[in-house]
Amino acid sequence: GHDTRFRGPEFARLVARVLGTLGVRVRLAESFVTTPAVSWAALDGGHTAGLVITASHNPPSYNGFKIKASYGGPASPEMIAAVEEELAALTGEFEPKSYDELAAAGVIDTFDLRAAYTELLRERLDLETIKEAGVRVAFDAMYGAGQGIVADLLGAPRVVELHHDLNPGMHGQAPEPIERNLADLMEVVPAENCAMGMAVDGDADRIGLVDEEGAFVDSHKILALLTKYLHQEKGLSGSVVKTFSTTDMLDHIGKQYRLDVETTPIGFKYIAPKMVEGDVLVGGEESGGIAVKGHVPERDGLFIGLTVLEMIVKRERTLSGLVRELMDEFGPHYQSRDDLHTTPERKEAVLAQLREKGLPTVNGHEVQETETLDGFKFRLEEGWLMFRPSGTEPVLRIYSEARSQEEADALVQAGVDFVRNGG
């Protein structure tokens, strides 16, 4: 399948032609689709793998491949390494057979994956209860593959749609559902008297929410809300799997509800195998990728957003009220982050210093413990500061968590100052 980026259909057909020429039978989505739809199709149809032509949340000038395994989630690092090894061994030119020839031979066939995936969501969500409540929701498709689906499920009169036309240029903005990209959604939600707003990225696997007052609700809080709702209201059990940069609130929830909490390196590719092999209630990461029990072992922004809407309706609470309940029950947890662009030399020098000397204090707070699962996390008495290098660009990501937003921001600024001053 492919998303809504420039020439996505042509790229997808070319991939189908290459695979078909090599003797691989290909089922091709007949229109743009979300990544979780392809993941589900790989699982449900008993296919060897799924492929999506997408650059996900990256700028519109990008494009790429996502490989999905037969278990319905991201390909493992070992699978990706095997593909890269084959790519490195390629030599010479290759001319694939024509699309028409392969289609006539039955090697390639098309199907309406978008409709099938929409029906899957219809079956797995309590849409009737949502409709009966009469709530409205604002949905920002960010010009991506999720457009139209929420209106199909809830009915157009109940949905205020933003950025839901085919625009491969995406007005020059990366389709990433983070606070700085959602000003329109944050304005529309209270203006249109919506119960909440939801936004998904270009291939609709990441989620961002806006409460009824127009405030952004990040994935840390979404993960905590889902864990409480699924366990306390729906009676489901299982462990919680989170990545290294995700909130400690989940640990407090796990302790309160007697749920095991496991931390993985950053990347959903480390969470998916846990969901396939074990009994996982919720798995997620700080960047907006979340999966839950009873669905595919894959990030699915639309399913997660509509599950939160279902939660609002069934609990008869506002989204801001549900977040306040979390803070009251498990204590305030606020996060901050900065993606600091620096030179490769400066990045490596800072990492070397962190590795060799660590940090004795951060912003006047004594470091209690240092963790190095994926980067460097310096734990304080209340909160933490974390450094992690990007693997693809000269960027050092700096994360924090604290008891107030001001303190979380101050911790990140201390990290930025540390890097800019050369450690």
Which amino acid is residue 333, in one-letter code? H
In angstroms, rounded to a whole number, what is the distance separating the alpha carbons of residues 311 and 319? 9
Q: 73-82, 138-147, 249-258 — which is least confidently predicted?
A: 73-82
Residues 217-223 have a mean pLDDT of: 98
Report the alpha-carbon distance of residue 282 to residue 195 in Å, rounded.
Answer: 24
Q: Does domain 334-420 have CATH number 3.30.310.50?
A: yes
| CATH class for the domain made up of 8-114 | alpha beta
pLDDT (tens digit, 9 = 90+) per residue, 186-213? 999 999 999 999 999 999 999 999 999 9
Judged by average pLDDT, the poorest of 93-107, 157-171, 227-241, 391-405 is: 391-405
Mean of all residue pLDDT scores within the chain: 96
pTM of the model: 0.95
Q: Give the domain ranges of the chain.
A: 8-114, 334-420
pLDDT digits (tens, 9 = 90+) for 341-368: 988 888 889 999 999 999 999 999 999 9
pLDDT at 423 over 70: no
Instruction: Identify which of 168, 166, 209 has the alpha carbon closest to the alpha carbon of residue 185.
Output: 209
The full DSSP string for 270-329 is GTHHHHHHS-EEEEE-TTSBEEETTS-SS--HHHHHHHHHHHHHHHT--HHHHHHHHHHH
pLDDT at 142: 98
* pLDDT at residue 394 greater than cutoff 80: no
